[in-house]
Structure 1
Amino acid sequence: MDIVDNHAHNLVSINSTFPFIKCFSEADGDALSFAPHTLSFKRSIRDIGELYGCEKTLKGIEEYRKSSGLESISSECFKAAKISVLLIDDGLEIDKMHDLEWHKSVAPVVARILRIEYFAEKILND
């Protein structure tokens, strides 16, 4: 059975200033240094390493990502997870994030969902 990801965020270029480790934690600053010690991080690194067929370390995965390219690894991940629909909340502004059109190259169906807070903030600031 295929899956609908009903609240995804834009993928970012591998050379974005958004660190890959932030995919595993919402922590910032010094607190982010604790992420690699969590069970969810360790499990995720193991699973991603198995999927990619690379060294099961953060460094090994980051090297694989750089050598394979974002489009390739994104397609690989969505296929393995059986995600066929991405509903993207693109209200977050992240360095070098890909637009909705780019995401159509890695998922069969891509659409935008409305982030009301984003539009309310824009209206209030204007």
Structure 2
Amino acid sequence: MADTSLRDPPPLVVTTQRPKLTAPRHLTGVGSCLLAGVYEAGRPDRLNAEEAQELQEQWSDFVSFAEERLLRTGRCHETEIYSAFRKSNAKYRDPATIPDRTLRDMIRQWFPASQRTSTGYYKNVSVIPRADPFQ
């Protein structure tokens, strides 16, 4: 007699109990709405054309400053970079025109290897001091 245990399918088990891990349909809809709200709240705002143009102009001004006055070695405090940038560009003298947070992001984009400590010091970035013409 041949072994038929490998050929016969296992018997079908039918139960009348409902699965225990199902959620009511109205709760899954509420959860989806809550997740959509969290997504909308966390999504960044889009820039209009005027704001994008202004940000691009700020970026080009910062890059020209950075190529002239920043070194990719050494250490310095973030306020040294901010004040040197604001002194070199008259239209950014007021901190309201370009916030410190924007300058911090620009430094990170200009030189990704720079490291900022929790106290505001940058590693691998330093400001080239200007020569005093009166000395």
Give the alignment's TM-score, normalised by structure 2: 0.24
More helix by share: 1
Q: Which has the higher contact order (CA 8 A, sep 6+)?
A: 1
Give the alignment's TM-score, normalised by structure 1: 0.26
